[in-house]
């Protein structure tokens, strides 16, 4: 099997409502997503998507993906897409780093492998586990009352696992937000407070040690070293997210005892191939994971759910469906959907989502014949 053509689309994905995180520091109203379809000489095609969460969240942006694809896509013409680690090495040699550019290509190659094997990706990534994949809500920053209201809306949609965005200029306001949400917590619900790097260590330690919980805290500070300093000064479990980009980063975190949780986002770490490797290390290390993507449609979310469904439940926390927050649906009725706070990996071979060409519109680039 050989890759004959790679087609690229750009699509703006509007959010249902403006979204603030890091205490309002980062505001988002729409996402810039890039879709790729890889065609082969055997009539099998695979889909991939790359969608950073805006331009301010990570060192990644939509235009960067499309510029990177212009470098990388031509190199894949004539290659066998089923040889995933051969492809990975080729891409890493041609363009070191820039994992967020490669994720969509890697995802599309996995989709082709699944279709060629006649299996959903979960059965190639470890095997479908019993039971559903638990989802978490994403609660934007606001006043304590606003945030309690957002959680109640999410609860009405079935969510029992909430990721609330905190991290403001005032420690007292964050303490008030957290205490309000802990007081409103229902039996069986899990709360994560995600600062998205907003705190300096002093603020993080002050806030985290002031609240009783039960609660997990995610990416309290900008750097790994700052997060480690905080972890050593608090009793609450910590999730690392933005500061874990590579296998080496996670090795160091495991050796340092820096975290009990990992935000494993496909686009940030460079695709399913690298995410699977991190997943395996996290499982061996006893680090629980939120397996998801950094943003995007039902396509990228379903790819992440395929990996989550192939990961034994005790090693998982929850998965986020970004597309639950969008007004545009690229594949109505398809893929992993919120079903009362849980979801399932699609049964179809590959990822299980075929975006509608009428939604994607005209391609922005075509590589190969």
Which residues participate in catalysis according to the annotation?
165, 265
**Token pair for residue 158?**
């079935």
Shortest distance in whole angstroms from residue 219 CB to Mg ion: 5
- By beta-carbon proximity to Mg ion, the closer residue of 10 and 290 is 290
Shortest distance in whole angstroms from residue 261 CB to Mg ion: 10
- 39 pairs with which residues across the strands? 5, 45
Close Cβ partners of 73 (under 8 Å, ≥ 6 residues apart):
6, 8, 36, 105, 365, 367, 368
Shortest distance in whole angstroms from residue 194 CB to Mg ion: 4
Close Cβ partners of 12 (under 8 Å, ≥ 6 residues apart):
30, 31, 32, 33
- By beta-carbon proximity to Mg ion, the closer residue of 124 and 164 is 164
Shortest distance in whole angstroms from residue 320 CB to Mg ion: 9
Shortest distance in whole angstroms from residue 366 CB to Mg ion: 35
- By beta-carbon proximity to Mg ion, the closer residue of 45 and 192 is 192
Write phi, then psi, for 6 (nearest 5 degrees): -130, 120
- By beta-carbon proximity to Mg ion, the closer residue of 144 and 263 is 263
Shortest distance in whole angstroms from residue 99 CB to Mg ion: 17
Question: Where does this chain bind Mg ion (CB under 5 A)?
Answer: 194, 218, 241, 263
Peptide bond into 214 cis (omega under 30): yes
**Token pair for residue 255?**
């050796």
Shortest distance in whole angstroms from residue 218 CB to Mg ion: 5
- By beta-carbon proximity to Mg ion, the closer residue of 111 and 218 is 218
- By beta-carbon proximity to Mg ion, the closer residue of 72 and 308 is 308
The residue of the chain with the least Cβ separation from Mg ion equals 241
- By beta-carbon proximity to Mg ion, the closer residue of 45 and 267 is 267
> Using H for helix, E for strand and C for coil, what is the string for the chain?
CCEEEEEEEEEEEEEEEEEEEHHHCEEEEEEEEEEEEEEECCCCEEEEEECCCCCCCCCCCHHHHHHHHHHHHHHHCCCCCCCHHHHHHHHHHHCCCCHHHHHHHHHHHHHHHHHHHCCEHHHCCCCCCCCCEEECEEECCCCHHHHHHHHHHHHHCCCCEEEEECCCCCHHHHHHHHHHHHHHCCCCCEEEEECCCCCCHHHHHHHHHHCCCCCEEECCCCCHHHHHHHHCCCCCCEEECCCCCCHHHHHHHHHHCCCCEEEEEHHHHCCHHHHHHHHHHHHHHCCEEEEECCCCCHHHHHHHHHHHHCCCHHHECCECCHHHHECCCCCCCCCCCCCCCEECCCCCCECCCCCCHHHHCCCCEEEEC
């Amino acid at each position: 099997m050989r890759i004959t053509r790679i087609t690229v689309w750009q699509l703006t994905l509007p959010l249902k409502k403006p979204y603030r995180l890091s205490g309002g520091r980062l505001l988002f109203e729409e996402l810039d997503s890039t879709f790729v379809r890889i065609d082969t000489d055997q009539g099998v095609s695979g889909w991939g998507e790359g969608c950073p969460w805006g331009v301010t969240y990570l060192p990644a942006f939509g235009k960067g993906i499309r510029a990177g694809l212009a470098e990388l896509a031509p190199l894949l013409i004539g290659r066998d897409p089923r040889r995933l680690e051969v492809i990975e090495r080729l891409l890493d040699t041609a363009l070191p780093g820039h994992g967020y550019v490669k994720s969509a290509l890697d995802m599309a190659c996995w989709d082709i492998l699944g279709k060629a094997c006649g299996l959903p990706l979960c059965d190639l990534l470890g095997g479908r586990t019993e039971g559903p994949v638990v989802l978490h809500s994403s609660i934007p920053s606001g006043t304590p009352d606003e945030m309690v209201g957002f959680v109640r809306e999410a609860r009405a949609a079935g969510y029992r696992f909430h990721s609330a965005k905190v991290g403001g200029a005032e420690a007292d306001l964050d303490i008030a937000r957290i205490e309000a949400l802990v007081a409103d917590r229902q039996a069986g619900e899990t709360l994560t407070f995600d600062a998205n790097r907003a705190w300096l260590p002093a603020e993080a330690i002050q806030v985290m040690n002031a609240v009783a919980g039960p609660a997990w805290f995610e990416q309290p500070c900008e750097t790994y070293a700052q997060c480690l300093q905080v972890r050593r000064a608090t009793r609450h479990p910590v999730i690392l997210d933005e500061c874990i980009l590579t296998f080496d980063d996670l090795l160091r975190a495991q050796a340092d005892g820096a975290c009990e949780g990992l935000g494993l986002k496909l686009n940030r770490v460079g695709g399913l191939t690298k995410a699977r490797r991190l997943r395996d290390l996290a499982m061996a290390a006893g680090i629980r994971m939120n397996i998801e993507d950094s943003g995007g449609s039902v396509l990228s979310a379903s790819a992440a759910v395929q990996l989550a469904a192939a990961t034994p439940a005790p090693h998982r926390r929850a998965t986020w469906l970004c597309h639950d927050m969008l007004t545009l649906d690229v594949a109505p009725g398809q893929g992993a959907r919120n079903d009362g706070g849980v979801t399932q990996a699609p049964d179809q071979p590959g990822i299980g989502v075929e975006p509608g060409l009428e939604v994607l519109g005209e391609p922005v680039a075509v590589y190969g014949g």
